[in-house]
């Protein structure tokens, strides 16, 4: 389990990184925290000619709150975000979600943007990003572009990122005042990728559900925003009946779920609905 | 890979208080650099894909998996391994606690557990059960069944609180002492 | 033989026992916690090369051609070998029933995914792995035998064509009047079960460094060898070397649990070393190799179990039918696992009519290896779960049906139907203690009300026997040659009066060196820290076997005591000369050789030993100037197996009783362990802390077995669980806190009354958890009969129609 040979570059600016990537195209790969990529290299399942380590680019490790968004740079470690002062107040959903990602010893290295770029459908951060309505800032040879999380994920381990593009920051809008939130998931062991999970945010206004947002993960090729469930919830009276109905709509919305040694397709579909219902209940209680 | 040999990269890193420079193939993992190039074999390899935690070391005080990190990624940083803990033959309170509370059997996982626990206790001298589980949950032990490990870390935390020092603070003092004459490169 | 060993603490020559039975700090710990212990991967020898192995991607394929020329020419590569080298220079594995072993590298065809095909030695592991990528192997796929049922099919492809069938072994053992018991039963309870493959997964994988010196044809193998002399003997047979030219040097292990194999790895490294003019070659198995084709897969079983009962719950007959999928060859002792249940076939119960119908088959999976418990854990599970089923049908409480069938406390030593003899025990006392400690009545009430609310809460009670201190005769029925299981220790006192014990096994985590030091410290009235334990290689140490079969604690206690007593006699003869009395007038007490009739006339043992070595001027000419003695312990009273496999095999029978509370989540199929209690009895506890450690470790592995761990294959025998992301070891979150208590019923047959306990809770935990899950499911009329009870399986069971 030793990596194949590759060249290594440690650019000191985004422009330089992009230029390197552009030059090598598919033969180059970005290295961020390495928590996914290095395991693949050790198994020789990835064989880039060039690794572009973006950890030496100054400024990419910044976290700030601006324009009502939590702005997370490309090299922000998952753990650094977890310890970002005030995160429990400014973005409790993200904090709760981060705690489900692997273990502290992995989060100390793994980056938020690396997880987003890696786009594992069972990962928490992509689902959180879709649920929170995050925007991604992407820089490539043709300059900067911005894309919503919802549009970013295409399929298993595939995003709209071109080989020469870098995800430079993720912007997570802060939750609206009075929003309730919840992340629920089933894993085989604590810290494992989810067999199925759900992220829900909502407000309660005049004893009715308002602005619901429901995302399931671990079930399809990308985080699944469940608009049918959201529509059913909007304006509904909070309570078990509503959660159950909307949960069933989540299960219905799941298409072609993964079937593997840990869970069957039918199970994933059903459990996604259950997780969504449980998340709705908890989110409502927090709202 | 081109026809010619892969270029080596120069790496300067501080390991257990000493600054070291080496020329390495970029693909050299931090774990192999520590174990093979530096002979620091207390850092073990149990899975080489980031799951088991046997290879856990501290990078600038944070517990990381040295098996899924390149040595070049550590350049300019400070790496601390299990070898830095005991001071002139006297066990570090964390090591002593593992002995006292029987937190090990084969001991293969132990350096990793101790390094992970060191980070935790440095940040949080009196961790809650949940905090303890969160840290220890990232390390696998096949022998002990964990109960004795939890007790070991609790015991170390208590002793350290009594001494009023953090686990890494203690270490920094020892390293300074050990590195003083002819230290550095 | 045991006559010369003190059988009880009172017989030790000290007025106060200070170390045995106490939770003594382990000698091995300081080195381990500082990372200084020399595990095999730390070993670097001059000129050492590194091996990497190219493995078969197919479960069953003919090797058409191998082109390794590019690899051979690569800079840094010193040797490349293939199956034809193995066939030319070696014999197939001897650790299998005759004719079912393979060569270390696949010859002509591959029998499982991951079977070694080509091996390379290069200057470092990175380069060695690079070289593998240059090798081109052409395969022709053969029809695959994907599981045990398929292996039995009339048109099944054959793993070993020469046998004409995939059946490695088929035997039916009948003990007592089984048919009669079933004919006359008031009730027959029967069920089918499936235990899926799982395995040891020690945190350290196997590793070795081998050099084959061309000058003197001496083979030196360093490695994490569980039983070095045994392994060495096998190497001599496979590599065609005289046994005294194979030297095994065992390093401390990062865990073993039976799953430290590496026969093939050692042989491959030997051949590579030979090809590279004797340079040492290291192979460090990586985790992917371990999971793919290491010695880490055990017990792939289909069971049918039947109980014959009387109305009152008395079990009068037991039938067990087992079909075990051994994998591509039988090279790694997998077959032993099917034989060991004979040592405790009827568990804690007095069932005198029993039948064991056994079929072992070859398939295109990885060959089975030993794992903690060596076979009984699945056997115990199916027995215990069927006892619960019987209890349910008879309206009896699970505790009550067990109580009615226990071997009574006054019936020991007791010979069970399958021929082994249990030494001692008091099962009812253990049960009572457990029910009391856990407040069983309250738990039952809680379970009942939770179930009334529709919650799937359940209690599981299981009690089992752990056969301890194995003897090779236990495995006679599966056709493996005996090499015996002696355990020798040499105890020596140097001229400064310091004690050193020399022995032939390395550490794997159970604190065995500490135990030897404790025993000798109490014998000679010193402290354990005063005793040095020195490991010796297979050609230097007294006859030895090492850990395995829960025997080492008992065996080394016997060996240390025996050697100490022999040494005492030697010292006494010399002291008699120095103290001017007859040798029989001298005794050892509290570290002094003293004249029995005049205790003030005494000399410290150190002084006597010093005189032996340094003062020949004071001693008669014919005296032996060595203050050292060796004793080789073997289990007393063993018998050869009869035609029905009956033998006194395992010397001790420890017992344990576990109670678990679980809740099943109906919606997700997950299981939470809410409470765990146990009482166990393994006789005298020589180091209680070590025993407890074994218990807790066994529980963790039992939780893994019941809920998490499984090697999954697809229908073409391709493995699907190839990393630690899919083969799931329990973490701190999954292993419960346990409330426990110990009873002590000493063994009448062992030194100091200790029983084997190294495999411990692994025998009981899977059964207890499965019983609890089934109790939780019982209101729904469902039963879980497949291990592990993963969320995938339980969800399917709970939502059968949804799939
Ligand atoms: C034991 C273990 C358990 C885990 N459990 C979980 C879990 O439960 N949930 C979970 O979500 N994750 C889990 N992970 C994955 C972990 O979260 C990774 O950290 C994360 O997926 C990748 O982040 P990274 O910074 O390490 O990225 P890297 O591994 O460095 O890179 C991952 C991929 O993203 C690309 N990339 C990285 N950054 C950028 C960028 N800025 N722009 C463009 N491309 C980029 C890389 O080229 C690479 O292809 C686990 C990992 C391990 C080792
Ligand atoms: S060896 Fe690094 S996590 Fe297992
Ligand atoms: S003590 Fe052996 S793995 Fe932890």
> How many angstroms away from the CA of A88 is the closest CA of chain B?
16
Distance C692 CA to ligand 1 centre (A): 39
Tell me the per-residue pLDDT of A138-177, one tens digit each, with 9 for 90 and over: 999 999 999 999 999 999 999 999 999 999 999 999 998 8
SS3 state of residue C558: helix
Distance B42 CA to ligand 1 centre (A): 27
> Which chains are within 8 Å of A by 3+ CB pairs?
B, C
In chain B, which residues touch A (CB < 8 A)? 1, 6-7, 9, 25-27, 29, 32, 48-50, 53, 56, 59, 62-65, 67-70, 72-73, 116, 119-120, 133-135, 137-139
DSSP string, A173-187: EPPPTT-EEEEEEE-
Would you say domain B9-83 falls under CATH 3.40.50.300?
no
> How many angstroms away from the CA of C133 is the closest CA of chain A?
10
Mutate to test the pocket of ligand 2, among B34, B42, B47, B140 (most ligand atoms within 8 A of CB): B47
Domain spans, chain B: 9-83, 93-171
List the beta strands (DSSP E) in chain A.
Answer: 7-9, 28-31, 50-53, 63-66, 69-73, 135-140, 143-148, 153-155, 158-159, 166-173, 180-186, 196-205, 208-217, 224-225
In chain C, which residues touch A (CB < 8 A)? 125-126, 129-130, 133, 286-288, 667-670, 708, 710, 712, 720-721, 723, 725-726, 728, 730-731, 733-734, 790-792, 795-796, 799, 802-803
Q: Average per-residue pLDDT in chain A?
A: 97
Helix (H) or strand (E) holding C53: strand C49-55
A46 close to B (CB below 8 A): no
> How many angstroms away from the CA of B161 is the closest CA of chain A?
23
C491 forms beta bridges with C501, C629
Architecture of domain A63-173: 2-Layer Sandwich (3.30)
Residue C99 CA to residue C168 CA, distance in Å, equals 9
> How many angstroms away from the CA of C66 is the closest CA of chain B?
24
Q: Where are the alpha helices (DSSP H) in C615-734?
A: 688-703
Q: What CATH class is the domain C376-470+650-802?
A: alpha beta
Ligand 2 close to Cβ of residue B46 (< 6 A): yes
Ligand 1 close to Cβ of residue A107 (< 6 A): no
Q: Is A185 within 8 Å of A197 (Cβ atoms)?
A: yes
Residue C125 CA to residue C64 CA, distance in Å, equals 27
Q: Which fold has domain C2-37+486-633?
A: Aldehyde Oxidoreductase; domain 4 (3.30.365)
Ligand 2 close to Cβ of residue B140 (< 6 A): no
What is the DSSP pairing of strand C218-223 with strand C246-250?
Answer: parallel
Residue B1 confidence (pLDDT): 41
SS3 state of residue C197: coil
Ligand 2 close to Cβ of residue B64 (< 6 A): no
Q: Tell me which residue of A110, A76, A97 sits closest to A194, measured CA to CA.
A: A97
Percent of chain A whose predicted confidence (pLDDT) is above 70? 100
DSSP string, B64-79: EEGGGSBGGGGTTSEE
Q: Which stretches of chain C drop beneath a pLDDT of 50?
A: 1-3, 802-803
> How many angstroms away from the CA of C514 is the closest CA of chain B?
12
Residue C55 CA to residue C291 CA, distance in Å, equals 13
Q: What is the CA radius of gyration of chain B?
A: 17
> How many angstroms away from the CA of B145 is the closest CA of chain C?
4
Residue C481 confidence (pLDDT): 67
What is the DSSP pairing of strand C315-327 with strand C354-362?
Answer: parallel
Of the ligands numbered here, which is closest to the C-alpha atom of B43? 2
What is the DSSP-derived secondary structure letter of residue C707?
A: I
Of the ligands numbered here, which is closest to the C-alpha atom of A34? 1
Token pair in block for residue C466: 């752990």
Name the residue of chain B whose CA is nearest to A27's CA.
B1
Residues in contact with A73: Cβ distance below 8 Å, sequence separation at least 6, in sequence order = A59, A60, A61, A62, A63, A113, A168, A169
Q: Is C60 within 8 Å of C143 (Cβ atoms)?
A: yes
Q: Tell me which residue of C68, C108, C58 sits closest to C87, measured CA to CA.
A: C108
Ligand 2 close to Cβ of residue B45 (< 6 A): yes
The verdict on pTM exceeding 0.95 is: yes
Phi, psi of C125 (to 5 degrees): -65, -35
Strands, sheet with C109-110, edge to edge from the N-terminal-most edge strand: C109-110, C61-67, C136-141
Q: Which fold has domain A180-286?
A: Enolase-like; domain 1 (3.30.390)
Residue B126 CA to residue C138 CA, distance in Å, equals 61
B6 neighbourhood in chain A, CB within 8 Å: 5-7
Q: Closest partner residue to C288 among A1, A4, A188, by Cβ?
A: A1
List the residue whose alpha carbon is closest to atom 4 of ligand 3: B141
Distance B52 CA to ligand 2 centre (A): 5
Residue A62 CA to residue A33 CA, distance in Å, equals 15
Q: What is the CA radius of gyration of chain A?
A: 19
> How many angstroms away from the CA of A105 is the closest CA of chain B?
5
Ligand 2 close to Cβ of residue B104 (< 6 A): no
Strands, sheet with C499-503, edge to edge from the N-terminal-most edge strand: C531-535, C499-503, C487-493, C628-633
Helix (H) or strand (E) holding C574: helix C552-579
Which residues belong to CATH 3.30.365.10 in chain C?
2-37+486-633, 376-470+650-802
Q: Which residue in the block uniquely carries the two structure tokens 């292996």?
A: C151
Q: What CATH class is the domain B93-171?
A: mainly alpha
Tell me the per-residue pLDDT of C522-552, one tens digit each, with 9 for 90 and over: 999 999 999 999 999 999 999 999 887 678 8
Helix (H) or strand (E) holding C274: helix C263-275
Ligand 2 close to Cβ of residue B151 (< 6 A): no
DSSP string, A141-171: TTEEEEEEHHHHEEETTEES--TT-EEEEEE
Domain spans, chain A: 7-56, 63-173, 180-286
Ligand 2 close to Cβ of residue B55 (< 6 A): yes
Q: Tell me which residue of B153, B183, B155, B173 sits closest to B87, measured CA to CA.
A: B173
Residue B138 CA to residue B141 CA, distance in Å, equals 10
Mean pLDDT of A116-122: 97
Phi, psi of A148 (to 5 degrees): -80, 150
Distance B55 CA to ligand 2 centre (A): 5
Lining residues, ligand 3, CB within 6 Å: B 104-109, 141-144; C 203, 255, 509
A187 close to B (CB below 8 A): no
Q: What is the dihedral angle through the alpha carbons of B119, B122, B127, B131, rounded to the nearest 10 degrees?
A: -20
Quick one: three-class SS letters along A30-62? Answer: EECCCCCHHHHHHCCCCCCCEEEEHHHCCCCCC
> In this model, does residue B17 exceed pLDDT 60?
yes
B147 neighbourhood in chain C, CB within 8 Å: 696, 735, 737-738
Q: What is the CA radius of gyration of chain C?
A: 28
End-to-end CA distance of chain C: 63
Mutate to test the pocket of ligand 3, among B55, B108, B111, B136 (most ligand atoms within 8 A of CB): B108
Q: Where are the alpha helices (DSSP H) in C327-460?
A: 336-339, 376-394, 398-405, 427-438, 440-452
Phi, psi of A252 (to 5 degrees): -65, -35
Q: Which residue in the block uniquely carries the two structure tokens 């292990």?
A: C253
Of ligand 1's atoms, which has the minimum distance to the CA of residue A192? Answer: 8
Residue C95 CA to residue B158 CA, distance in Å, equals 51
List the residue whose alpha carbon is closest to atom 44 of ligand 1: A117
Distance B54 CA to ligand 2 centre (A): 5
Residue C143 CB-density burial (10 A; 0-12 exposed, 13-18 middle, 19+ buried): middle
Token pair in block for residue C614: 């340094």
Mutate to test the pocket of ligand 2, among B58, B112, B115 (most ligand atoms within 8 A of CB): B112
Q: Is C305 within 8 Å of C382 (Cβ atoms)?
A: yes
Distance B139 CA to ligand 2 centre (A): 9
Residue C157 CB-density burial (10 A; 0-12 exposed, 13-18 middle, 19+ buried): middle
Token pair in block for residue C536: 């010796």
Count of Cβ atoms closer than 10 Å to residue C600 Cβ: 6
Residues in contact with C259: Cβ distance below 8 Å, sequence separation at least 6, in sequence order = C199, C200, C201, C202, C294, C295, C296, C298, C369, C370, C371
Distance B44 CA to ligand 2 centre (A): 8
What is the DSSP-derived secondary structure letter of residue B6?
A: P
Which residues belong to CATH 3.90.1170.50 in chain C?
40-142+205-253+261-293
Q: Is C287 within 8 Å of B46 (Cβ atoms)?
A: yes
Name the residue of chain B whose CA is nearest to A80's CA.
B62
CATH number of this structure's domain A7-56: 3.30.43.10
Ligand 2 close to Cβ of residue B48 (< 6 A): yes
Q: Tell me which residue of C611, C530, C517, C520 sits closest to C567, measured CA to CA.
A: C520
Q: Which residue in the block uniquely carries the two structure tokens 């029925």?
A: C477
Tell me the per-residue pLDDT of A21-75, one tens digit each, with 9 for 90 and over: 999 999 999 999 999 999 999 999 999 999 999 999 999 999 999 999 999 999 9
Mutate to test the pocket of ligand 1, among A118, A134, A140, A190 (most ligand atoms within 8 A of CB): A118
Q: Give the model's confidence band at B184: pLDDT under 50 very low, under 70 low, under 90 confident, else very high.
A: very low
Tell me the per-residue pLDDT of B81-124, one tens digit each, with 9 for 90 and over: 999 999 888 999 999 999 999 999 999 999 999 999 999 999 99
CB contact under 8 A, C792 and A261: yes
> In this model, does residue B2 exceed pLDDT 70?
no
Residue C792 CA to residue A259 CA, distance in Å, equals 10
Name the residue of chain A whose CA is nearest to C798's CA.
A267
> In this model, does residue B181 exceed pLDDT 70?
no
Q: Tell me which residue of A99, A172, A164, A107 sits closest to A134, measured CA to CA.
A: A172
Residue C690 confidence (pLDDT): 87
A261 neighbourhood in chain C, CB within 8 Å: 710, 712, 720-721, 726, 792
Of ligand 3's atoms, which has the minimum distance to the CA of residue B142? Answer: 3
CB contact under 8 A, C255 and B143: yes
Q: Closest partner residue to B9 among A5, A8, A55, by Cβ?
A: A8
Q: What CATH class is the domain C40-142+205-253+261-293?
A: alpha beta
């Amino acid at each position: 389990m030793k990596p194949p040979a590759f060249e290594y570059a440690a650019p000191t600016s985004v422009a330089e990184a992009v230029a390197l990537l552009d030059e090598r195209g598919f033969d180059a790969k970005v290295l961020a925290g390495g928590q996914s990529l290095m395991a693949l290299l050790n198994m020789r399942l990835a064989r880039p000619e060039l690794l572009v380590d973006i950890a030496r680019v100054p400024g990419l490790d910044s976290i700030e709150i601006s324009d009502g968004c939590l702005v997370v740079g490309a090299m922000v470690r998952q753990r650094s975000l977890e310890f970002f002062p005030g995160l429990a107040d400014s973005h409790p959903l993200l904090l709760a979600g981060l705690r489900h990602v692997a273990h502290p010893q992995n989060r100390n290295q793994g980056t938020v943007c690396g997880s987003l770029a890696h786009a594992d459908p069972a990962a928490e951060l992509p689902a959180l990003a879709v649920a929170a309505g995050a925007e991604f800032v992407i820089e490539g040879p043709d300059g900067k572009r911005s894309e919503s999380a919802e549009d970013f994920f295409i399929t298993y381990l595939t995003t709209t990122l071109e080989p020469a593009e870098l995800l430079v920051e993720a912007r997570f809008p802060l939750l609206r005042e009075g929003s309730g939130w919840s992340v629920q998931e089933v894993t085989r062991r604590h810290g494992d990728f989810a067999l199925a999970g759900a992220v829900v945010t909502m407000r309660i206004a005049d004893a009715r559900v308002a602005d619901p947002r429901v995302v399931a993960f671990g079930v399809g090729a990308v985080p699944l925003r469940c608009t049918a469930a959201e529509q059913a919830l909007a304006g509904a009276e909070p309570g078990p009946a509503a959660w159950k109905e909307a949960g069933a709509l989540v299960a219905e919305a799941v298409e072609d779920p993964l079937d593997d040694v840990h869970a069957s397709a039918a199970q994933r579909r059903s459990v996604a609905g259950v997780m969504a219902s449980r998340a709705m209940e908890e989110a409502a209680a927090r709202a | 890979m081109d026809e010619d040999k892969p270029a080596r990269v120069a790496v300067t890193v501080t390991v257990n208080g000493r600054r070291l420079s080496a020329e390495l193939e970029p693909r050299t993992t931090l774990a192999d650099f520590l174990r093979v190039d530096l002979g620091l074999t207390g850092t073990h390899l149990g899975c080489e894909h980031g799951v088991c935690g046997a290879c856990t070391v501290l990078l600038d005080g944070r517990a990381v998996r040295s098996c899924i990190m390149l040595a070049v990624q550590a350049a300019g940083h400070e790496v601390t391994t299990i070898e830095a803990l005991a001071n002139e033959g006297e066990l570090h309170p964390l090591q002593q606690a593992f002995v006292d509370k029987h937190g090990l059997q084969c001991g293969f996982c132990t350096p990793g557990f101790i390094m992970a626990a060191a980070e935790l206790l440095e940040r949080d001298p009196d961790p809650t059960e949940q905090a303890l589980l969160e840290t220890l949950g990232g390390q696998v032990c096949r022998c002990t069944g964990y109960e004795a490990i939890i007790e070991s870390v609790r015991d170390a935390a208590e002793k350290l609180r009594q001494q009023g020092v953090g686990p890494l603070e203690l270490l920094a003092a020892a390293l300074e002492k050990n590195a003083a004459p002819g230290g550095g490169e | 033989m045991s006559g010369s060993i003190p059988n009880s603490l009172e017989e030790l020559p000290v007025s106060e026992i200070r170390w045995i039975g106490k939770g003594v700090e382990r000698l091995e710990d300081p080195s381990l916690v500082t990372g200084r212990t020399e595990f095999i991967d730390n070993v670097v020898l001059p000129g050492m090369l590194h091996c990497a192995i190219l493995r078969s991607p197919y479960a069953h394929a003919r090797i058409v051609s191998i082109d390794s020329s590019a690899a051979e020419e690569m800079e840094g590569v010193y040797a490349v070998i293939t199956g034809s080298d193995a066939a030319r220079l070696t014999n197939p594995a001897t650790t299998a029933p005759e004719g079912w072993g393979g060569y270390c590298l696949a010859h002509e065809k591959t029998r499982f995914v991951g079977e070694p095909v080509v091996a390379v030695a290069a200057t470092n592991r990175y380069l060695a792995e690079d070289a593998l990528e240059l090798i081109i192997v052409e395969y022709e796929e053969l029809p695959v035998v994907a599981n045990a049922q398929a292996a039995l099919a009339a048109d099944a492809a054959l793993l070993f064509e020469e046998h004409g069938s995939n059946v490695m072994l088929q035997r039916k053992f009948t003990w007592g009047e089984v048919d009669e018991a079933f004919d006359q039963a008031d009730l027959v309870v029967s069920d089918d079960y499936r235990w899926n493959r799982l395995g040891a997964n020690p945190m350290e994988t196997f590793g070795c460094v081998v050099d084959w010196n061309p000058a003197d044809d001496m083979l030196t193998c360093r490695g994490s060898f569980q039983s070095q002399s045994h392994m060495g003997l096998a190497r001599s047979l496979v590599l065609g070397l005289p046994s005294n030219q194979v030297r095994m040097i065992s390093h401390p292990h990062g865990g073993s649990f039976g799953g430290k194999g590496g026969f093939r790895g050692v042989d491959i490294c030997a051949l590579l070393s030979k090809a590279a003019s004797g340079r040492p070659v290291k192979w460090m198995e990586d985790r992917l190799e371990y999971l793919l084709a290491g010695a880490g897969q055990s017990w792939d079983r289909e069971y049918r179990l039947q109980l014959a009962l009387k109305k009152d719950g008395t079990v009068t007959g037991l039938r067990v039918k087992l079909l075990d999928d051994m994998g591509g060859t039988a090279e790694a002792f997998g077959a032993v696992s099917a034989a060991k249940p004979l040592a405790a076939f009827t568990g804690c119960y007095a069932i005198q009519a029993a039948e064991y119908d056994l079929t072992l088959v070859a398939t295109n999976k990885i060959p089975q290896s030993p794992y903690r418990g060596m076979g009984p854990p699945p056997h115990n599970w199916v027995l215990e779960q069927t006892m619960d089923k019987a209890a349910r049908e008879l309206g009896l409480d699970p505790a009550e049906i067990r109580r009615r069938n226990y071997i009574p406390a006054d019936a020991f030593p007791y010979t069970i139907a399958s021929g082994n003899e249990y030494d001692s025990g008091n099962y009812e006392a253990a049960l009572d203690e457990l029910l009391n400690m856990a407040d069983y009545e309250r738990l039952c009430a809680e379970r009942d009300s939770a179930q009334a609310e529709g919650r799937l809460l359940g209690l599981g009670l299981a009690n089992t026997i752990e056969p301890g201190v194995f003897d090779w005769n236990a495995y006679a029925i599966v056709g493996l040659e005996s090499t015996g299981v002696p355990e020798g220790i040499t105890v020596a006192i140097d001229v400064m009066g310091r004690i050193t014990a020399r022995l032939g096994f390395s550490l794997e985590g159970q604190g065995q060196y500490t135990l030897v030091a404790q025993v000798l410290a109490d014998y000679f009235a010193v402290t354990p820290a005063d005793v040095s334990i020195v490991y010796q290689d297979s050609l230097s140490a007294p006859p030895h076997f090492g850990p395995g079969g829960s025997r080492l604690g008992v065996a080394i206690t016997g060996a240390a005591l025996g050697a100490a007593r022999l040494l005492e006699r030697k010292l006494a003869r010399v002291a008699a000369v120095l103290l001017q009395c007859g040798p029989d007038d001298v005794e050892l007490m509290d570290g002094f050789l003293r004249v029995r009739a005049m205790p003030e006339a005494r000399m410290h043992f150190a002084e006597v030993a010093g005189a032996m070595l340094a003062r020949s001027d004071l001693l008669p000419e014919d005296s032996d100037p060595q203050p050292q003695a060796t004793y080789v312990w073997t289990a007393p009273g063993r018998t050869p197996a009869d035609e029905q496999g009956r033998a006194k095999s395992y010397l001790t029978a420890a017992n344990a009783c576990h109670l678990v509370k679980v809740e099943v989540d109906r919606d997700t199929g997950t299981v939470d362990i809410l409470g765990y209690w146990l009482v166990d009895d393994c006789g005298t506890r020589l180091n209680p802390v070590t025993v407890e450690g074994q218990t807790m470790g066994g529980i963790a592995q039992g939780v893994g077995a019941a809920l998490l761990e499984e090697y999954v294959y697809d229908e073409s025998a391709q493995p699907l669980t190839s990393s630690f992301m899919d083969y799931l070891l329990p973490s701190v979150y999954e292993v419960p806190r346990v409330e426990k208590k110990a009873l002590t019923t000493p063994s009448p047959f062992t030194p100091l009354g200790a029983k084997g306990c190294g495999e411990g809770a692994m025998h009981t935990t899977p059964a207890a958890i499965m019983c609890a899950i089934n109790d939780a499911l019982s209101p729904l009329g469902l039963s879980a009969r497949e291990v592990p009870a993963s969320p995938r399986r339980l969800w399917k069971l709970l939502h059968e129609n949804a799939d």
